[in-house]
Structure 1
Amino acid sequence: MRQIILDTETTGLRVDDGNRILEIAALEMVDRKIVAEHTLHLYINPGRDSEEGALNVHGLTTEFLSDKPKFTAIADEFLAFVKDSELIIHNAPFDVGFLNAELGLLGRGKITDYVANVIDTLAMAKDQFPGKRNSLDALCDRFEVDRSARVLHGALIDCELLAEVYLALTRGQDSLLIDFQPDDSPTGLASANANRAARKPLTILQPTADELAAHATYLDDLDKIVKGQCLWRAIEDPAPAESGTVQ
């Protein structure tokens, strides 16, 4: 399935206040690789000024956007680009809310009418790093993604950063399958056996006392967050078996 990394910039934070989309960027990803020649980047005349806070974030002035097309003029191009794909968005409810508002003004339903699925990387990050900062900037720092070129928020550069963050967030899901090519031929089996024989034994590193203490503290914090339902605690300290008399 095609995946589309998507981001928007808007005139303000609340769609209910009449704010509009003024920039859309989308990058296509196939088999976990960005298709560089298949990128969508559109500036849009929102028909209103940006709120001061939003303008400070994206820097797209009313004057700059005055000669850009309205959303109605780019709707077909945008929908054709994302059709039947899986959208990957950071804080998806925000962007989806604005896209639904724009499509609603045109009587064209909701974005989920056109795409197969929407993945929210913010929700993914919160699951993986409960209690931590999970903004795009914070995740870039956590995964050592270079964001030095990001002076202002822009939809295109945010998509490029999010693509790397998404790959980092999901790397464990396919790590066991990377570079695995089934081959039952004698040549293939011989090559596989030779590769196994050439591998060095795995080095097993035992945790230090400080690392064990840090791990215990992390589990304590996690157990508080999930209100005593931490599975690791249950594994490490199973409930005692019911006592009985052995005949």
Structure 2
Amino acid sequence: LVIHNAAFDVGFMDSEFARLKPVRKTADHCGIVDSLAIARKKHPGQKNNLDALCKRYGVDNSNRDLHGALLDAEILADVYLLMTGGQTALSLDAGSGDEGGDGGIRRISGERAPLAVVRASSDEASAHDEFMAMMEKQAGETVWSRLQATE
């Protein structure tokens, strides 16, 4: 994963993983690259937020009003490649595997333990029902209530 300010986001992801049994951490499943740490090394003493990096590297972020995960991920991909001098062209040709290398592809097993189902407690379910009632009172019928009516 390439994450700008990884400690912040990984903290949230690890909090969610902590609900699983056995407890897992993001780093147990993948490598984590903090693009903010790279930017701070490369540009010490300068602003290194995503907007500043876009300006510095000429990446168009004109569609970015506020933080939006999908757009930020696309922008970060461009910034990261420019900042690190990484891949500059898309090539899906990883070779046939006969060249002695694996083309940079790490093969992993498709075998997985079944996912734990974490159900809402009765308090959480009640809070959800109250919230949905408030939403319907303010905005009218919700998609959620339509889906529940068809079940």
TM-score range, shorter chain: 0.5 to 0.7
1:134 is aligned to 48
Which structure is higher in strand share?
1
Amino acid at match of 2:82: A
Q: Distance in 2 between matches of 1:156 and 1:146?
A: 15
Is 1:105 the counterpart of 2:19? The answer is: yes
Give runs of ≥4 in structure 1 deviating > 2 Å.
none
Q: Distance in 1 between matches of 2:4 and 2:40?
A: 11
Amino acid at match of 1:111: T
Report matched runs for 1:1-247 at 5 Å: 87-107=1-21, 108-115=23-30, 117-171=31-85
Superimposed CA distance per residue, residues 136-177 of structure 1 (whole angstroms, 9 cap, x where no aligned partner): 010001111111111121100000000000011111x679xx
Q: Distance in 1 between matches of 2:20 and 2:78?
A: 34
Amino acid at match of 1:109: R
Q: Distance in 1 between matches of 2:29 and 2:71?
A: 25
Q: Distance in 2 between matches of 1:174 and 1:160?
A: 15
Could you tell me how far 1:134 is from its partner in structure 2? 0.1
Q: Distance in 1 between matches of 2:2 and 2:15?
A: 19
Structure number with greater Rg is 1
Partner SS state of residue 72, structure 2: helix
Q: Runs of 5+ in structure 2 lacking a partner?
A: 89-151
Amino acid at match of 2:15: A
Q: Distance in 2 between matches of 1:91 and 1:151?
A: 19
Instruction: Report the count of equivalent residues.
Output: 87
- Answer whether contact 2:81 2:87 (CA < 8 A) is retained: no
Superimposed CA distance per residue, residues 182-212 of structure 1 (whole angstroms, 9 cap, x where no aligned partner): xxxxxxxxxxxxxxxxxxxxxxxxxxxxxxx
Could you tell me how far 1:112 is from its partner in structure 2? 1.0
Q: Distance in 2 between matches of 1:156 and 1:140?
A: 16
Q: Distance in 1 between matches of 2:67 and 2:44?
A: 25
Partner SS state of residue 65, structure 2: coil
Please, what TM-score do these two structures have when normalized by structure 2? Answer: 0.55
Partner SS state of residue 109, structure 1: coil
Q: Runs of 5+ in structure 1 lacking a partner?
A: 1-86, 176-247
Give the % identical residues.
51
2:108 is aligned to none
